[in-house]
Amino acid sequence: MESEDKREEQTSVRLRTLLADLDYQCCQGDLDVEITSVVNDSRKAGQGSLFLCIHGAVSDGHDYAAQVAEKGACALVTERPVQVPDHVTVIQVKDSRYAMACISACWFGHPARRLKTIGITGTKGKTTATYMIKSILENAGYRVGLIGTIETIIGDRRIPASHTTPESIEVQQSFREMVDFGCDCVVMEVSSQGLMLHRTAGFEFDYGIFTNIEPDHIGPNEHTSFEHYLSCKAMLLRQCRTGIVNRDDVHFEQMIQGHTCELETYGFSQEADLRAVEPQLIKKRGQLGIAYQLQGLMDFPVEIDIPGTFSIYNSLTAIAVCRHFQVSQDNIVRALRCAKVKGRVEMVPVSDSFTLMIDYAHNAMALKSLLLTLKEYHPHRLVCLFGCGGNRSRSRRFEMGEVSGELADLTIITSDNPRDEDPQSIIDDIKTGIGRTDGEYVEIIERKEAIAYAIHHGQPGDIVILAGKGHEDYQEIQGKKYPMDERELIREILEEDRKRGAF
């Protein structure tokens, strides 16, 4: 195989080289043809392209075979026969998505071999854990890239994400750019879909983390059953050298079944290699957090300015990984205190008398977990502001309304991303769910007005949660995305109050 150093300077690679890690059949053409680009989007195909025919949810790349050949593509990777001119090389494989991952890794010079790669999967906690790991490692002097639900980070560049785990071509391209920037390591969220669709194939993670598993993403367009969902998640423990798993999860034995990696565990369990003991809730003026004593493979006190037991699990995940990077205790403690994740129990200071936070909880399971966590702090009132997305299942609205009605002292129903639906109709569905409870609520359709109401009616000791939008900085209405960042809305409200002399 051609060396990685040479690959950086090349503008073309022989097809035979790109196929080195694959089982394939050459149906026609020349294996020594020079490839000048690797694409899976027919619009990007051109002279010298290798086009990967991917069967997607919306379209099938095989249907574009003749079209890309006309545009100059000199080779195609397919799963079934296609009709193209004889001079076009056709390579047939069992799974073109897996082939795309291996080919992409080679095309970009196998950048993962020059990075320490950290992959995190699980139903909850992936995003927060990735940012915690990044914070700790950077605090210790490492240069860290990140790929996740919110964004991809390469140095000072922040690229908004469209998928939790991008397609393999994008993953490998990001790895390449991280290497070129001088990154030592990369931490990334690995979704069940990403594993199922081989988006992280073509390389082996140095560290694979399995945070937890709960029934989620079960449906006709995702996973057929919980068992299938779990089996896809568990693939990560067969694609990494060291696996780090939550020992407390009730599905632990299923999670590790068939693993091929060295295994480490964390949790509260005495059987965990790294464990938390003596957890304590911390409540300060307008701030919530948690503290505990770390025992096992490391031993020192930890304090985090993020509330809830799930924050302990997220921090244990981060510590378990960073331990392998020889990060000092002081660096870990200092970094965890300042680790923040946009839109994940993100506290926004507006008053010393009550706590206001933003969170991405946008389904009943996440909202219930969040509200139960916040109730542990015994607030004077728990106030929950949320809406639901349009063009989505109505049952989600009923469920979220019922959860908030049961657990919050006051629900403020407002608009989220109405998309093509009437916002009032969505609110009415949420009210149907709340109607199954004795919960109190107000409805304010405009989100800024609703947030202002929450701030102006905050009482001493309240915890006010703005749920659903999280890191999103837009509102989607009738096919258009309009700028709307809750942090900006809060700043505007406080500035308007100041000008009026309200506070």
- At position 267, the amino acid (one-letter code) is G
Q: State the Cα–Cα distance between residues 76 and 92, nearest whole angstrom.
A: 8
Confidence at residue 417, expressed as pLDDT on a 0 to 100 scale: 95
Q: How confident is the model at residue 3 (pLDDT cuts 50, 70, 90)?
A: very low
Q: State the Cα–Cα distance between residues 473 and 158, nearest whole angstrom.
A: 14
pTM of the model: 0.89
Local structure of 357: helix, strand or coil? strand
Q: State the Cα–Cα distance between residues 104 and 112, nearest whole angstrom.
A: 11
Confidence at residue 132, expressed as pLDDT on a 0 to 100 scale: 94
Q: How confident is the model at residue 2 (pLDDT cuts 50, 70, 90)?
A: very low
Does an H or E element contain 146, and which?
strand 144-147
What is the average per-residue pLDDT within 420-430?
A: 97
Quick: pLDDT tens for 371-424: 999 999 999 999 999 999 999 989 999 999 999 999 999 999 999 999 999 999
Given a cut of 70, whether residue 219 has pLDDT beyond it is no
Of 58-62, 182-186, 410-414, 452-456, the poorest mean pLDDT is in 58-62
Confidence at residue 223, expressed as pLDDT on a 0 to 100 scale: 63
Q: State the Cα–Cα distance between residues 121 and 192, nearest whole angstrom.
A: 7
Percent of the chain with pLDDT over 70: 96
Confidence at residue 221, expressed as pLDDT on a 0 to 100 scale: 58
428 Cβ contact list (under 8 Å, min separation 6): none
Mean pLDDT across the chain: 93
Quick: pLDDT tens for 90-129: 999 999 999 999 999 999 999 999 999 999 999 888 999 9
